[in-house]
Amino acid sequence: MKEFWNYLLREDLPGYILSTIHFAVFGCGDSRFKLFNAPSKRLYRRLLQLGANSINERGIGDASNENGHYQTLYPWIEDLKKNLEEKGLVGSAHDVQSVPNYSIEFLDNADLSNADSSVRNNKNGDIFEVIKNDRITPSDYFRDTRRVDLKNSNNLSYNPGDIIDIIPVNIKSEVAEAITKLHWEELADKPFTIKANGNTELSEDWKSTQTLRKLLENSLDIFGIPNLKMARSLFSILKNKLSDTEKTKISDIESYIKNCVNDKKSILDVLCEFPTKDLKIEEIIEIIPVIKARSYSIASSRKVSGDNIIELIIGINDYTTANNEQRFGIATKWISTLKPTEKVYGEVKEGVMKFSSFAEQPVIMICTGTGIASIRSCLQERVSQGQKENYLFFGFRNTNSDDYFIDELKKYANEGNVELYLAASRDQAEKVYVNHKLEENSKLVYELISQKNAHIIVSGNINTLPSSVKTALRDIYMKEGNYSLDQATKAIQDLEDKEVYQEECY
């Protein structure tokens, strides 16, 4: 892909070189991040410059939409089909028979043993041993937050701001209940092999002999959040089996899925509402998406924890459905069951925060809740390097409840390694947040940025923290630097463009 892009950028290419080529571009991104969908925009524009013929307007997928990229992808695909027909590039889309992505071959006898049954999840990266999984919030506190420490047999090379990807699996007892609810008992334990059709790639885990039960336990996200792609696959397969009532229910498929999400229904809940008893294995695989890796910020520095240890802080995600049923997030529920000495696969990856860009400058660190993870990693690294110009604004709900790593932070503060500004939002009647602490210390913050070239790193809830911090910084510029609103807004944007201001929000 890189070679192809570099070729397209050659200045000696004539403007007609792609004149016989028809193309369509759909870009995927997340509007909460800067440079949203920039690659697809550049590609679309460059193809036009070289004379290529656009079949469709550039599609823009946004992961922050309620239904993710699918919200705009499906209407874009319908336009693409229509334009392909109108331009005579294909026959009628209605005449095209869709080919299943997978086909199944049942086996009479098969070896279903796992490659390494001692590991609790599917292969993804390196094997880590769980050496700690402790609840660090009080037992009577409404939020269960875990300190999870993982040990690798080899030395690691992660840096502050890096992450670890872990693919969770479903709880076996819950899968057994789901099989019973869906009346799939007859199919559940029949061994089979999977073959990928067309351009579909077969994952490594699926190349071994499978059963439906094994797939539901290890790979298929049956307890996940329903989405448009899943719903369209389901109703396309069931369209001739639906009653009039069921057809009416999903006549507006986007509204149906939106209501399911609002009611906090799972994919299992949706499957139970329709005649899914007689689905074939290949149809089930087509409908239910695979479980995706979850990314967790590493909360430690190798200089403190050691070269083969990763420390994590993970909040157990629980919620209540519209039917007043308490449920837990798939990944965090599974993580809460991990015991010391058990093993899991994990893949260490580079995070979005670029520590090297501010390693030598003063740093203003702003975080809330479990967002302390990457901040702690950064702070440990800087303290170990003898850097003392660290200014931490840490927000949480209650003192002695979710003020994570507070003893360590206070120790650093007493040693002169960090200036600590705490915002316990629920300790008093009037709520106090980190943006209030920034504004209370506006002179310090402004001087650090304008005179000492301090960098700013922000970590926490993406829906609330970035906007409140940027608003506070804008107001500080207006108050301390006499900036106009437009000037202050541009100054904050310039900090972000130059990566003086960085976010690692989720």
Q: Considering the entire predicted model, what is its pTM?
A: 0.83
Residue 98 has a pLDDT of 60
Per the prediction, the chain carries an average pLDDT of: 90
Instruction: Let me know: does 326 contact 429? Beta carbons within 8 Å.
Output: no
- How many angstroms separate the most distant Cα atoms in the chain? 79
Task: Look at the alpha carbons of 149, 155, 157, 160 in this order and tell me if their dihedral is positive or negative.
Answer: positive
pLDDT in tens, 185-219: 999 999 999 999 888 888 888 999 999 999 999 99
Among 3.40.50.360, 3.30.470.20, 3.30.1490.70, 3.40.50.150, name the CATH number for the domain at 1-87. Answer: 3.40.50.360
Q: Which CATH architecture group holds 355-505?
A: 3-Layer(aba) Sandwich (3.40)
Residue 363 has a pLDDT of 97
Residue 483 has a pLDDT of 96
Q: How confident is residue 52, by pLDDT bands cut at 50, 70 and 90?
A: confident
Cβ atoms within 10 Å, residue 115: 8
Residue 104 has a pLDDT of 93
Q: Among 78-82, 168-172, 317-321, where is mean pLDDT lowest?
A: 78-82
Residue ranges of E strands in 107-184: 126-135, 145-152, 163-166
Does 355-505 match 126-169+293-349 at the fold level?
no
Residue ranges of domains in the chain: 1-87, 126-169+293-349, 172-287, 355-505
Higher pLDDT, 406 or 68: 406
The CATH class of the 126-169+293-349 domain is mainly beta
Residue 395 has a pLDDT of 97
pLDDT in tens, 442-454: 999 999 999 999 9
